[in-house]
Amino acid sequence: MTSVAAANPTLTTRPPRSGSPIATALAYFAGVVIVVVTVVPMLFIFIGGFRTTAQINGSPTALPHPWIWANYRVILTSSSFWRFLANSAEIAFVATALAVALGSMAAFALSRYNFKGREAVYAFFTIGLLFPLTVAALPLYLVLRDLGLLENKFGVAIPEAAFSLSITIVILRPFMRAIPTELEDAAVVDGASKLGFFWRILLPLSGPALTTVAILAFVTSWNFYILPLLVFNKTGDFTLPLGVATFQSQYSFDTARVFAFTFLSMLPTLMFFVVAERRIIAGLTGAVKG
């Protein structure tokens, strides 16, 4: 976000050094409450996975006694969990690759070529920001059916990529525009074609923005529920969000196993998040702030 501080680099933007002691105490208190409210539910699910359903029914909030590894072991040695994981990964990978590849090509055309109707085409792509895929899910299903893309991973990945195009182009275009023309002229003088400039210079320079849009597309696809729900009928095709919901309704009598499965489904996301925290937060919040 362009702010007062950005316009005037001499101003300080770090958080205030101190406040009243009461406010500081209150801040720590709020921090602790936030951590407890966020972490305890997940921890409860995690630990609950080490109990048996009989233990849970006997005393819902006690610690495991004894600790049971069976729930986690059974799930991790069964094929379905890994299957869901692989399906999610495949679809997210295809959706991300498509969105980034096609989005960066379009953003390049919209930022470094002059042609009639360029702004109109750009505005056209931004329509996608105004409504979410959920709204279009039912008609999209009909289109996919006519195209024979039901029960097909591409039937999920392609529309996800299409809906990610708007934000991809919106983030990439200003970024590519900001790269000086002199650089392009120099490349041309050195014998690069326009496409050579795009491939060898512009794309590498757009690295940070490309990472942002890739993370956005990947996380969106990874977490998507409604489209796989409509497209897939066979459990073997399910993605993780769909799988966890199905597992819950299938094994609703076995609370401990559902706990274990639920925690295992969160784990890949949480691990990815801890590893790439800075990029992810910057990407997901930056995407809306510009």
Q: How far, CA to CA in Å, does 78 sit from each of 71, 73, 81, 231, 242?
A: 11, 8, 7, 24, 17
Candidate segments 72-80, 178-186, 201-209, 217-225, binder of other proteins by CB under 8 A: 217-225
Q: How far, CA to CA in Å, does 58 sit from each of 21, 38, 62, 67, 250?
A: 45, 26, 9, 15, 22
H/E stretch holding 13 reads none
Of 196, 198, 133, the C-alpha closest to 172 is 198
Candidate segments 40-48, 68-76, 183-191, 200-208, binder of other proteins by CB under 8 A: 40-48
CB of 227 to other proteins, least distance (A): 10
Site for other proteins in 1-30 (CB under 8 A): 1-6, 8, 11-20, 23-24, 26-28, 30
Q: How far apart, in whole angstroms, are the C-alpha atoms of residue 148 and residue 162? A: 17
Q: How far apart, in whole angstroms, are the C-alpha atoms of residue 47 and residue 69? A: 11
Are 264 and 73 within 8 A, CB to CB? Answer: no
CB of 101 to other proteins, least distance (A): 8
Are 262 and 270 within 8 A, CB to CB? Answer: no
Question: Residue 137 or residue 205: which is nearer to other proteins going by CB?
Answer: 137
Positive or negative, the CA dihedral 238, 239, 242, 248 is positive
Contacts of 163 (CB under 8 A, 6+ apart): 128, 132, 133, 220
Q: Binding other proteins by CB under 8 A: which of 51, 219, 236, 279?
A: 219
Binding to other proteins by CB under 8 A, coded x per residue (else -) over 127-166, reads: xxxxxx-xxxxxxxxxx--------------xx-xxx-xx
Candidate segments 63-71, 74-82, 123-131, 180-188, binder of other proteins by CB under 8 A: 123-131
CB of 69 to other proteins, least distance (A): 20
Candidate segments 76-84, 108-116, 182-190, 202-210, binder of other proteins by CB under 8 A: 108-116
Q: Binding other proteins by CB under 8 A: which of 91, 98, 187, 210?
A: 98
Are 248 and 118 within 8 A, CB to CB? Answer: no
- Applying CB under 8 A, does 275 fall inside the site for other proteins? no
- Applying CB under 8 A, does 105 fall inside the site for other proteins? yes
- Applying CB under 8 A, does 280 fall inside the site for other proteins? yes
- Applying CB under 8 A, does 172 fall inside the site for other proteins? no
Site for other proteins in 240-269 (CB under 8 A): 240-242, 244-245, 248, 255, 258-259, 262, 265-266, 269
* Residue type, position 113, single letter: Y
Q: How far apart, in whole angstroms, are the C-alpha atoms of residue 215 and residue 280? A: 7
H/E stretch holding 151 reads none
- Applying CB under 8 A, does 193 fall inside the site for other proteins? no
- Applying CB under 8 A, does 208 fall inside the site for other proteins? no
CA torsion, points 149, 100, 266, 238, in degrees to nearest 10? Answer: 10
CB of 70 to other proteins, least distance (A): 18
Are 128 and 166 within 8 A, CB to CB? Answer: yes
- Applying CB under 8 A, does 54 fall inside the site for other proteins? no
- Applying CB under 8 A, does 60 fall inside the site for other proteins? yes
